[in-house]
Amino acid sequence: MTEEQQTKIEAATFRRLLTHLDENKDVQNIDLMILADFCRNCLAKWYVSAAKKEGIEIDYDTAREVVYKMPYSEWKDKHQTPASDEQLAALEARKKI
């Protein structure tokens, strides 16, 4: 596999991950953090970091729009639910690992 082929495959995989997350809006960021130690906001931060390494300046809000497929404030209003006490406890336990 060439580096170009690998890059294309990785890009397609990332786009598929974003589509999957978009199709499963019921999965809250806190759930992702508990289970996998990353969330949609982490993906946006990684996007900003990768762009910077390529000499491209993208702000965090723009990167979150790429990940959420809409402004974060809109996504939050439409799809984010308050974290339960159980979720908050599980996240705290996860942080101690």
> In terms of CATH architecture, what is 3-95?
Orthogonal Bundle (1.10)
The span from the CA of 49 to the CA of 15, in Å, is: 17
pLDDT, mean of each 10-residue run, the chain (97 residues): 96 97 96 95 97 97 97 96 95 87
- What pLDDT does residue 71 have? 97
pLDDT of residue 96: 83
Residues 87, 34: contact at Cβ < 8 Å? yes
Are 14 and 66 in contact by the 8 Å Cβ rule? The answer is no
CA distance 35 to 2: 33
Q: What is the pTM of this model?
A: 0.89
Residues 6+ apart with CB under 8 A from 63: 44, 45, 47, 48, 51
pLDDT of residue 89: 95
